[in-house]
């Protein structure tokens, strides 16, 4: 298999992810989940994703579709279409699966895969993290990661 095929194979549907995660859990893997738009990848994203991966043995990223990014961020977003955003993330060695989702939140996705660890940025707290209730109910953890100061997509959009 070519490396490009390997990268493309990381991008899966929710049902494919459920099957893969089930196998991982049987093998004793610790599944970590995070989500976001990841429109313009920067140092802060790399730092965040690497630290998220360090919390377990498999990292899954729920990726907002173009329509859900527009609903969240406004009509001029995303800048990069879903395929470009997904392929960019899939090229990261620290990421094991990318699951695009069209809903406003990843609640359905989190409920379907039930990760051991749910991660968000420190601009959230455990009470505001979607899916925290599901993960904790199943004995998992909810963890926030501090951002790298000075790095945000919003700052890059202002520069442009």
CATH (domain of 15):
3.40.50.620
Cα distance between residue 150 and residue 160, in whole Å: 16
- In 3-state terms, the chain is what percent helix, strand and coil (to 5)? 45, 20, 40
Q: What is the pTM of this model?
A: 0.93
Tell me which residue range forms the domain holding 44. 3-159
Q: Where are the beta strands (DSSP E) in the chain?
A: 31-36, 58-64, 97-101, 117-121, 141-145
Tens digit of pLDDT for each residue in 116-126?
999 999 888 88
Helix (H, G, I), strand (E, B), or coil: what is residue 73? helix
DSSP labels for 33-54? EEEE---S--HHHHHHHHHHHH
> Domain count of the chain?
1
Flag whether pLDDT at 49 surpasses 90. yes
Tens of pLDDT, residue by residue over 125-149, are 888 999 999 999 999 999 999 987 6
Per the CB < 8 A criterion, the answer to whether 42 and 156 are in contact is yes
């Amino acid at each position: 298999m070519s490396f490009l095929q390997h990268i493309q194979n990381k991008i899966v549907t929710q049902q494919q992810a459920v099957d893969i995660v089930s196998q991982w859990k049987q093998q004793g893997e610790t599944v970590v989940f995070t989500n976001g738009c990841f429109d313009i990848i920067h140092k802060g994203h790399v730092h965040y994703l690497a630290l998220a991966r360090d919390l377990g043995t498999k990292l899954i990223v729920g990726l907002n579709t173009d329509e859900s990014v527009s609903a969240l961020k406004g009509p001029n977003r995303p800048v990069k279409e879903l395929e470009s955003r997904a392929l960019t993330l899939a090229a990261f060695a620290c990421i094991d699966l990318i699951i695009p989702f069209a809903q406003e939140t990843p609640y359905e996705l989190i409920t379907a895969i039930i990760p051991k660890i749910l991660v968000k940025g420190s601009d959230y707290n455990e009470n505001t993290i979607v899916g925290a209730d599901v993960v904790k109910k199943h004995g998992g953890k909810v963890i926030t990661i501090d951002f790298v100061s000075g790095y945000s997509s919003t700052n890059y959009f202002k520069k442009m």
